[in-house]
Amino acid sequence: MRIPFTKMHGLGNDFVVLDARVQALPPINGEVAAALADRHTGIGCDQLVLIEPSDTADLKMRIFNRDGGEVEACGNATRAVGLLAGDAVTIETLGGTISARPDPAGIAVDMGVPRFDWDAIPLAYAMDTLSMPVGWDMLENPIAVNVGNPHAIFFVEDLDAVPLGEIGPVIEKDPIFPQAVNVNAAQILSRSAIRLRVWERGAGLTRACGTGACATAVGAMRRGLVEREVTVSLPGGDLLIAWGEDTADAKGRITMTGPATVSYTGSFDWGAYA
């Protein structure tokens, strides 16, 4: 059986997208996802994205990191799926239902409401998530935010001095984060600009992380470091993050806006990977 796929990226964070609405697919598990994601023997990607029918939204999105682990959310992948949808769309994910729509700057995604309670991150035990009393080498007192998946954000004076490739995997697997964590190192450039690098849970250093940009922006806003709309610059490019004001009727929702691109399309032999 040959399976069609679309290779896409959002600011260099790349995906293999399979659409099970077009053609029924055999069950996808972590082993198959990791094989397809392998850059030497597979198609190669940071995440495998599976689009399926949904009973509660316009479509369902499942996301597998390149190590085969299934994760709750991915902002860049959501923009990619929004681009394929071609119109405003609601998307069911493990992290909740979100929405995407075309925008002059690319695709705008409503990422929902951030969560800050320690057990919503989740952490192993109760503590202040605005300034966690923990540290690893030069990285200390992170903010913890869940934006569909868990993030720890460290604000530093010199981003280039942070050996994120060495510290990131240690923090990711620390027992204080029972579901592991995405590790963000950020430098405030101005009241409207942040520079960011991300060690992504299950994927490693990445050129862009949409949920990381959202979590970092919200964390900076909670600490009063930036305004409620900010440009987050990652190695792959820029994302615009806005966090709506809380009202009597609703908590503030995060909007992420940025590009998504189709690289190429193709097909593969299912039997080679299953």
Q: Which residues are catalytic?
A: 74, 209
Query: How many beta carbons lie within 10 A of that of residue 268, not counting itself?
Result: 17
Where helices occur in 119-192 by DSSP H, the ranges are 164-172
Helix (H, G, I), strand (E, B) or coil at 234: strand
Residues 6+ apart with CB under 8 A from 33: 48, 64, 65, 66, 68, 70
Residues 6+ apart with CB under 8 A from 107: 78, 79, 82, 83, 100, 101, 257, 258, 259, 260
Among 140, 143, 185, 194, residue whose Cα is nearest residue 163: 185
What's at 78, amino acid-wise?
T
Q: Are 134 and 154 in contact (CB under 8 A)?
A: no
Helix (H, G, I), strand (E, B) or coil at 120: helix
Question: 126-145: b or e for each residue (b if 16 or more CB lie within 10 Å)?
Answer: eeebeebebeeeebeebbbb
Tokens 């409207």, residue located: 192
Q: Are 82 and 57 in contact (CB under 8 A)?
A: no
